Amino acid sequence: MAGALDMVRPLRFAPRRQRAIPTLDGAYLPNDRLDALPIVGPDLVCPDDVAVGTDGTLLVSTQNRLLRLSGPELRDQAVVAAVDRPITALAPLADGRLAIGLNGGGLRLLRSDGTVEAALAQLGGASLRCVTAIVEDPARGGVFFAVGTLRHDAEDWVWDLMERNSAGLLGYWPPDGGRAEVLLDGLPYPNGLEVEAGGESLLFTQGWTHSLMRYRIGAKSSAAVETVIDNLPGYPARIAPAAGGGHWLAIFAMRTQLIELVLRETRFRQEMMRAVDPELWVRPSLRATGSHLEPLQGGGIKKLGIRKPWAPPRSYGLVVRLDAEAEPVFSMHSRVDGHCHGVTAAREAGGRLIVVSKGDGRLCACDLDNTGGRA
């Protein structure tokens, strides 16, 4: 009888690819380091990406504006460009120009004075609605860019997750703003880009598979892509080089057992999306609202005026330091009760690590001088 059941079970219960969420231990051991960092810069609304300009000043995108920050604690600001849509990604080029991505509006190449030199709205007949990351090509000029999905604007990323899409791509746009090309497509929300030393390969994050990948530039076979990390504890955002080798990886939200279950249960998920306000879905978020209607809030309910930091996270903040072999060696957390959630970027600038908390609308900074690059 047992033998017959063993034969039938695979037919009745089709195997599903499941990966256990990694335990937050070792290099991922929870702490409060992000919350302990000083806040720098002016008051910002939804900061998203950060970069270092050719003059060494800090550039940050905040909704429809691109700002240049300088002075003590980066409090002095100047508007580099004001555009008609929220800026979703940015990259300064060596010749002084800037490449930016726009929510629902593709890419634009800006002159140093902020005026538009060229624009790229479509590629292969599809609108580039969700540009998530841009990086300059050091060999040929131009830029590599990631499009999280071709089906939604960047602000609607949670719809793409819940629909379980793999509709993203990596592309290349030449330096003269000419004909762009698709390098890879059918990707599950590519969300960060870094050109590795030597310029022969690209590292890119994939949000919906919680992974870090490598693409060998110019390769034409399936061997062009390899998996570097295949099972992160959260949804990765941008990746940036670290001094002395290695990388800084931003995690914009954490995985939970409940969310993983909902993503597997198609009928329940579809009904939830049809009948429930998106803010109340079982979903990750850049910042929990604290509403008693939110799923998971019961796990973090206050007692003695304190919200449990170890509660199931609807929103969270996490930055991971990877070594040159992409092994995690150190992390900084803002737990459930913290105030540095929804981290979309972390980049070194002027001897400090600048962390962008989009969920809480702030920049935080950490001095790297006396820490060996470990913050």
User: Going residue by residue through the chain (375 aa), what tens digit of pLDDT does each one get?
Assistant: 445 444 444 444 444 456 789 999 999 999 999 999 999 999 999 999 999 998 899 999 999 999 999 998 999 999 999 999 999 999 999 999 999 999 999 999 999 888 999 999 999 889 999 999 999 999 888 999 999 999 999 999 999 999 999 999 999 999 887 899 999 999 999 999 999 977 889 999 999 999 999 999 987 776 799 999 999 999 999 999 999 899 999 999 999 999 999 999 999 999 999 999 999 999 999 998 877 788 765 565 666 566 778 788 999 999 999 999 999 999 999 999 999 999 999 999 999 999 999 999 999 999 986 454 454
- Fold assignment, 30-288+312-367: Neuraminidase (2.120.10)
Strand-pairing partners, residue 65, are 62, 82
Q: Which pLDDT score, from 0 to 100, does residue 301 have? A: 61
Q: Phi and psi at residue 133, in whole multiples of 5°?
A: -160, 145
Q: Which pLDDT score, from 0 to 100, does residue 180 have? A: 94
What are the DSSP calls for 306-337, one per residue? Answer: B--TTSPPSS-EEEEEE-TTS-EEEEEEE-TT
User: H or E stretch including 120?
Assistant: strand 116-120
- The two three-digit tokens of residue 220, written as one number: 């034409």
Q: Which pLDDT score, from 0 to 100, does residue 31 have? A: 96
* Longest distance between any two alpha carbons in the chain, whole Å: 77
- Map tokens 């590599």 to a residue: 144
Distance between alpha carbon 266 and the CA centroid of its chain, in Å? 25
What are the DSSP calls for 242-295, one per residue? Answer: -TTS-EEEEEEEE--HHHHHHHH-HHHHHHHHHHS-GGGSS---SS----TTST
* AA letter at 69: L
- Smallest CA-to-CA distance from 345 within 29, 49, 105 is with 49
Strand-pairing partners, residue 101, are 89, 107
- Smallest CA-to-CA distance from 254 within 335, 345, 343, 316 is with 316
Q: Which pLDDT score, from 0 to 100, does residue 112 have? A: 86
* AA letter at 362: R
Q: Which pLDDT score, from 0 to 100, does residue 327 have? A: 96
Domain boundaries, the chain: 30-288+312-367
Q: Which pLDDT score, from 0 to 100, does residue 368 have? A: 86
Q: Which pLDDT score, from 0 to 100, does residue 12 have? A: 43
